[in-house]
Structure 1
Amino acid sequence: MKAIVFEDETRAANHLERLLARVAPEISVLAKLESVRDAVKYLQNNPEPELIFSDIQLADGLSFEIYKQVEVSCPIIFTTAYDHYAIEAFKTNGIDYLLKPVEEERLRQAIDKAKHFSPGLVLEKLLAMNRPVAEKAYKSRFMVKVGDKIKSVPVEEILVFYSQEKASFIRTTDTHTYCIDYALDQLEPMLDPEKYFRINRKYIVAIDACTNILAWTNSRLRLKIEGIDDSDIIVARERVVEFKSWLDR
């Protein structure tokens, strides 16, 4: 079976190739490409492979752009450090979605799926995944303590969730700050990903808060949010591509 790998991290690409040598020595890796541009060029000028291993965040953008520019009929196994793109992945010929670091047993299972690939199975998977997503209800309000009273804050009034000194806070559109009883890791799945984005370990920001964005060092971005004087409101470098895609919908 002839395969190609789209991966912008050399270490990850080499790790995958070593795993393939153990798990499926019958698979021959024809090329390893680091960018959307190089991947599109390769697919346009070479016979289609029998299998594609595709990271999602490549050097110059999201790999989904490849499949918008070039029609691919072979199965695709996605590999990524994030689990946010599963639905989008199965809109292509994605047959599996492996989180990094890729584990040997999961890779073996994915390759077995590739050997039994049919477009109809991908459609069934996409429909099954869309049902629970469509039905999911995100948190609509948070209860906060103000003196000896309890106040209800609608989520649409919250510009940012952030952690500071082992506590979590919200900043609202009317410039108030309140402490809440959730860690950011707990909050993330409670919030609508169309409206909120986790830019780093300390901050989850609302799309309405992202009006003042500055280019920052090491290919990062910095957000300036009214009422918060903190140099840590930085979009982590590994999240910049995804953040820009989230804004530009």
Structure 2
Amino acid sequence: MAAFIARGRPLIGVTASVHGSRIAWWANRLALRRAGARAVRITARDPFPIERLDGLVVGGGDDIDAALYGETALPKMRIDPERDRLELCALDGAAARRLPVLGICRGSQMINVHRGGSLLTDIHEVYEEAPRLRTVLPRKRIRIDPRSHLYRILGIAECRVNALHHQAVDRLGDGLRVVARETVGIVQGIEAVHHPFLIGVQWHPEYLVADQRQQALFRTLAATAAGTASLEDATAL
């Protein structure tokens, strides 16, 4: 947190695959810049010291290795073991330093796995009635727990989000709670019970650039990383 005083803006790490989409990186970088933060891209090939960060975004990407939560990978799963190790290590460091963390899509799932939880390897095998959506446009309706940190940030109990996933949180990890679901029941948001900002969302707020409620996730992350705001102040940011 003291880094904010020395450099003027908090430094947020954004994890990504070595060969991952640059579009997601630039979208996250822009969202963080608009929120008043600087961003650094972190990959297995280009790691970054966690002790130099003020906050962390665990980004979207390939599936997480099912062996990490005691399941067998499906043939269609595309995994990135090096990134898995990088993010688990980054989350260890963030936990030790109590850094604010935002998990996006895969990143939300990784937060759950890091805390001992499991995933649905394919949501459509369990939720057969779930629409098979894959779009950056807000086409999926979700409900948010009004008692949650996520609700205080977004300021709304229902909204539409985008969908680029086929996996989701199943068994919750230690100290986590479900704070958002879509109408068929699939988990769309999780957060830590005893942490100033450890939130995972199954959608991609970085692509919803015109939605100020969604961009509040980045503003609150940046402000918390800078040590200038609490979650109670989030709706005023």
Both structures adopt the same fold (TM-score exceeding 0.5): no
- Normalised TM-score (structure 1): 0.35
For the pair shown, the structure with the greater C-alpha radius of gyration is 1
